[in-house]
Amino acid sequence: MAHAHLDAVKTYLLELQDRLCQGLAEEDGRAKFREDAWTRDEGGGGRSRVIENGALFEKGGVNFSHVYGAQLPPSATAARPELAGRGFHAVGVSWVLHPENPHVPTSHGNVRFFIAEKAGEAPVWWFGGGFDLTPFYPVLDDVRHWHRVARNACAPFGDDVYPRYKAWCDDYFYLKHRGETRGVGGLFFDDLNDWGFDKSFAFQRAVGDAFLDAYLPIARRRRETPWGERERDFQLYRRGRYVEFNLVWDRGTLFGLQSGGRTESILMSMPPLARWDYGWEPKPGSPEATLYRDYLRPRDWLGEASA
């Protein structure tokens, strides 16, 4: 039963990786993804695809992995200690996009599936994933579009789904040591199995399938916006926050490293360039100050739009 589930999810995820790479490369218009297949000594492997130095993307990656082993890593059982010691399969697709133009937001997403197994007991499975947006020079209409697509993806599964997973995203992508959100959020879900397999899998597909509809219209609108040294410096400074989150707080990074995954693929999410300036603060009234004042906190983007 468990492996029948695994095969169906794996087939979808491989196809999703193909569609994401095709759509993103077409939008870039110059660079192509290069693939790097890898294997893991303890079991499994993956295929990493990276795009660099394009007309739109300075760096981006869309990675597929399927790893398995005799014991779940600690990061996977921290919230579910009853699963400690079980064998596991983990399969997923993750993607991160770092555009060159500071007016085009950075974005991240992933969809994943876990099975925890123990001899003599039924397998325990669950889904997780989501996507989030990290603009440096945000446009309110873009943020509302992003959340509208997220809400529409959730709508067939219940009126409470988008508010719940939107709030979870705001909470998860929060830099506690900075007192700010990483960006303007989106969706985040984990440990999803209470709907049963068919509905839970359908929701995972809805989230994965919604990403290009959410992101590409924003990239198209902003990719020709002029920028210069000031905007580039601010982009690199804010990319530092992205690095801080991934290395300090992100459970996915920790799981990959603890499970013996391929380090080069796990750290694909890092931007190609970033900077840290000591004690930097935006000038009052500047576009950079607008990001801090209006966007780096949870907001009801769609409720505000309809008020």
**What pLDDT does residue 18 have?**
98
CATH of the domain at 281: 3.40.1500.10
Token reading at 233: 């410096």
Residue 131: inside a domain, yes or no? Answer: yes
Alpha helices in the chain (DSSP H): 2-28, 74-77, 140-154, 161-172, 197-222, 229-248, 251-258, 263-266, 287-290, 301-306
**What pLDDT does residue 119 have?**
76
Residue 106: inside a domain, yes or no? Answer: yes
What span, in angstroms and rounded, lies between the C-alpha atoms of 97 and 271? 9
Q: Is 260 annotated as a binding residue?
A: yes
**What pLDDT does residue 208 have?**
98
Which residue range is the domain that position 56 belongs to? Answer: 1-295
Count of CB atoms situated within 10 Å of the CB of 69: 16
**What pLDDT does residue 1 have?**
39
What span, in angstroms and rounded, lies between the C-alpha atoms of 135 and 131? 13
Token reading at 40: 């893991």
What pairs with residue 94 in β-bridges? 63, 110
Q: Is 110 annotated as a binding residue?
A: yes
Q: Is 151 annotated as a binding residue?
A: no
**What pLDDT does residue 307 have?**
40
Confirm whether 108 is a catalytic residue: yes
Cα 50–56–62 angle (5° rounding)?
Answer: 25
Q: Is 178 annotated as a binding residue?
A: no
Residue 301: inside a domain, yes or no? Answer: no
**What pLDDT does residue 76 have?**
62
Q: Which of 5, 66, 108, 145 is catalytic?
A: 108
Token reading at 198: 């068919």
Phi, psi (degrees; rounded to nearest 5) at 250: -70, 120
Residue type, 298: P
Question: In which residue ranges of the chain is pLDDT below 70?
Answer: 1-3, 73-79, 81, 255, 259-261, 305-307
Residue 284: inside a domain, yes or no? Answer: yes
Count of CB atoms situated within 10 Å of the CB of 156: 11
Q: Is 111 annotated as a binding residue?
A: yes
3-state secondary structure of 46: strand
Answer yes or no: are the C-beta atoms of 56 and 48 closer than 8 Å. no
Cβ contacts of 51 within 8 Å, gap of 6 or more: 21, 24, 25, 28, 31, 32, 33, 34, 57, 59, 60, 61
Q: Is 98 annotated as a binding residue?
A: yes
Residue type, 141: D
Q: Is 94 annotated as a binding residue?
A: yes
Q: Is 112 annotated as a binding residue?
A: yes
Residue 86: inside a domain, yes or no? Answer: yes
What span, in angstroms and rounded, lies between the C-alpha atoms of 62 and 20? 7
* Domains of the chain: total: 1
3-state secondary structure of 241: helix
